[in-house]
Structure 1
Amino acid sequence: MSDAQKSDPGLYDYAPYRGRPKIKWQDGKTCAVWVAPNLEYYELDPAVNPYRKSWPKPHPDVVGYSHRDHANRVSHWRMAEMMTKHGFPGSVSLSVALCDHIPEVVEDANQRGWEFFSHGIYNTRYSYGMDEAQERAIIEDSITTVERATGQRIRGWLAPALTHTPRTLDLLAEYGMDYTCDLYHDDQPTDVKVKSGQLTAIPYSLEVNDHYGFFIYNMSPRDYADTLIRQYDRLAEEGAQSGTVMCIPLHSYLIGQPHRIGPFEAVLEHIAADGRAWITKAGDIVDAFRKQAGGVL
């Protein structure tokens, strides 16, 4: 075995894009579209993680904290109302501590019929360096806290600030999670190899994540909206051969700013009017995938 083969973690089987078993979405739709609002809570002065800084500036970073706090005071409502207006439910990447710090935001999302999955406790606390007991405690806390606040049992996971340990995926499956958003390798759902249970990787795009669009790629609001439309149009076209998935990951303190929400509304209008989109939630996509060909690609 070569060194390159040894370095492959073996999280999923290789399958070329063409020649896979065909995925069919309901009513002949070609692209399953789900919107993932990140409802987050950032600590002003978080505990120091030796592997990564929470804020680029010395703590307390009042500027970074207050910028993100705009989400829970103003821009969540602006974003959520726009999504509801055009028939887009949310599948919420939730900083579970928000249930206790600002329950009004969680309750609003729950009243809208949105689905919740865990994004860790705080987005300023990372999985790097955690032992197994600590990681189990976060998963258990996420399950019990979200169920207490919303009545829902979470089915999915997006690691806090996209941080992991080598055991994360196995633990998620052990605790009965159905899907992970932490693998970015495909435009269709895939099975993840875990020690027990079953775990599905649902496409969650970094390429069209508003954080990447505005912070990494320095897009204007119109550029970002055009990117989303081009992403959707291509996936909907290819999905006629085998159903594709488009995720729109959002942070309301970014997309919900007054100067950005207008171009974003044009995206929602375009997708809703196109006719090829199955506009749904993450759990529904995973369920539909698993019913086809035993959920194996």
Structure 2
Amino acid sequence: MSYDAQSDIGLYDFIPYNRRPKIIWPNSAKIAVWIAPNIEFYEYAPPPNPTRTPWSRPLPDILAYSHRDYGNRAGWQRMMKAMDEAGFRGSVSLNVALCEHHPEIIEECAKRDWEFFSHGIYNTRYVYGMSQEQEREIILDSIETVRKHTGQKLSGWLSPALSNNLWTMDLLAEHGIEYTCDLFHDDQPMPVKVKQGKLISMPYSLDMNDVIVYNSNLYPPRHYGEMIKRQFDQLRAEGETSGTVMCIPLHPYLVGQPHRIEPFAEALRYIAGHDDVWLTTGREIAQHFYENSYDAMANAIRAASA
């Protein structure tokens, strides 16, 4: 069978574990663990997108809307308490419009030195079918909104509903975004191929994402807690050779339900009970990787490709 260039989107090159330079995390930690709470706002009646509709039921879909609103009213407080008690800071996957809708949530996160990265303006507005200029405006709006409300530089990106265009990664690098969570291909940060500047993929996770666990796979809370611990154990063991990354993506309307919070909190206590783990943020992982591992990894990838 001949190779078809159209079968590969061309965002990254292949390099197996055993041909990579060693990643060393601070204090020789075997694994970097970061938590990405998706703090979102779902519009009741967003502008229509020809590719995808946000609600599965006809409007008014008060069931789905109010269920998601639970996270911004009650769920985030339980989630934050569990993270506080285990010593985790969050990297907020933020619909930046939430800064206007619920500034009190932003204030509590900022008070704890949590990172804020962009998950688009609203989680009901997708970039499918947008022009480059339209998508660029979303990036610029996110950068300015996060700076205005938190004083932070925007370092990371997760597109709303993981919607992308062929030029999305180029636009992110063009505007100084350091990492994307839209790629799910590895357990270590990896260089992404862009036209100018630099961009890396940050290990995110569909398997550890509570949306997949609860809404798709219909697993019970105890099973989710065990999944988190098993993921940690395996990546920590592999981290003996080269530092790995584990992400726990969350949604307060799911993990913050009263009957689900304790298994999640117990899993966080389990992770925090190890002394060879780096409890950190997406931004800190990216900065450490750029400063200590990016050039060596890029060179190794070029050699492997050749």
TM-score by length of 2: 0.95
Deviation, 1:4, is 3.3
2:81 aligned residue: 81
Give aligned-pair identity as a percent.
Answer: 53
Q: 1:249 is matched by which residue type in structure 2?
A: P
In the alignment, the residues of structure 2 paired with residue 44 and residue 172 of structure 1 have an alpha-carbon distance, to the nearest angstrom, of 28
**Long gaps (5+) in structure 1:** none
2:146 pairs with 1:126: no
Deviation, 1:276, is 2.2
Contact 1:118 1:154 in 2 (8 A): yes
1:194 aligned residue: 194
Task: Describe the SS at the equivalent of 1:93.
Answer: strand
1:180 aligned residue: 180
Q: 2:203 is matched by which residue type in structure 1?
A: P
Contact 2:191 2:294 in 1 (8 A): no
Q: Which deviates more from structure 2 when the two are superposed, residues 3-12 or residues 192-201?
A: 3-12
Task: Describe the SS at the equivalent of 2:177.
Answer: coil
Count of residues paired in the alignment: 297
Q: 2:100 is matched by which residue type in structure 1?
A: D
Deviation, 1:149, is 0.7
Task: Describe the SS at the equivalent of 2:105.
Answer: helix
In the alignment, the residues of structure 2 paired with residue 40 and residue 24 of structure 1 have an alpha-carbon distance, to the nearest angstrom, of 34
1:279 aligned residue: 279
Moved over 3 A (4+): 1-6, 293-296
Deviation, 1:19, is 2.4
Deviation, 1:106, is 1.1
Contact 1:45 1:61 in 2 (8 A): no
Q: 1:107 is matched by which residue type in structure 2?
A: E
Task: Describe the SS at the equivalent of 2:116.
Answer: strand
In the alignment, the residues of structure 2 paired with residue 233 and residue 76 of structure 1 have an alpha-carbon distance, to the nearest angstrom, of 27
1:145 aligned residue: 145
Q: 2:127 is matched by which residue type in structure 1?
A: S
In the alignment, the residues of structure 2 paired with residue 272 and residue 176 of structure 1 have an alpha-carbon distance, to the nearest angstrom, of 32
Q: 2:108 is matched by which residue type in structure 1?
A: D
CA offsets 1:177-205 (integer angstroms, 9 cap, x no match): 10000000000000001001100101001
In the alignment, the residues of structure 1 paired with residue 12 and residue 279 of structure 2 have an alpha-carbon distance, to the nearest angstrom, of 27
For residues 89-238 of structure 1, the aligned pairs below 5 Å read 89-238=89-238
In the alignment, the residues of structure 1 paired with residue 25 and residue 258 of structure 2 have an alpha-carbon distance, to the nearest angstrom, of 35
Deviation, 1:9, is 1.7
Deviation, 1:296, is 4.3
C-alpha distance 12-296 of structure 1, shift in aligned 2 (>3 A): farther
Task: Describe the SS at the equivalent of 1:121.
Answer: coil
Contact 2:76 2:253 in 1 (8 A): yes
Root-mean-square deviation over aligned CA pairs:
1.2
Contact 1:190 1:296 in 2 (8 A): no
1:37 aligned residue: 37
Contact 1:203 1:247 in 2 (8 A): yes
Contact 1:229 1:267 in 2 (8 A): yes
CA offsets 1:23-76 (integer angstroms, 9 cap, x no match): 011112100000000000000111211101110001221111100101111111
1:49 aligned residue: 49
Contact 1:191 1:296 in 2 (8 A): no
Deviation, 1:3, is 4.6
In the alignment, the residues of structure 2 paired with residue 23 and residue 41 of structure 1 have an alpha-carbon distance, to the nearest angstrom, of 36
Task: Describe the SS at the equivalent of 1:291.
Answer: helix
C-alpha distance 130-296 of structure 1, shift in aligned 2 (>3 A): farther
Contact 1:26 1:278 in 2 (8 A): yes
Contact 1:155 1:177 in 2 (8 A): yes
In the alignment, the residues of structure 2 paired with residue 293 and residue 62 of structure 1 have an alpha-carbon distance, to the nearest angstrom, of 48
In the alignment, the residues of structure 2 paired with residue 296 and residue 39 of structure 1 have an alpha-carbon distance, to the nearest angstrom, of 35
Task: Describe the SS at the equivalent of 1:66.
Answer: helix
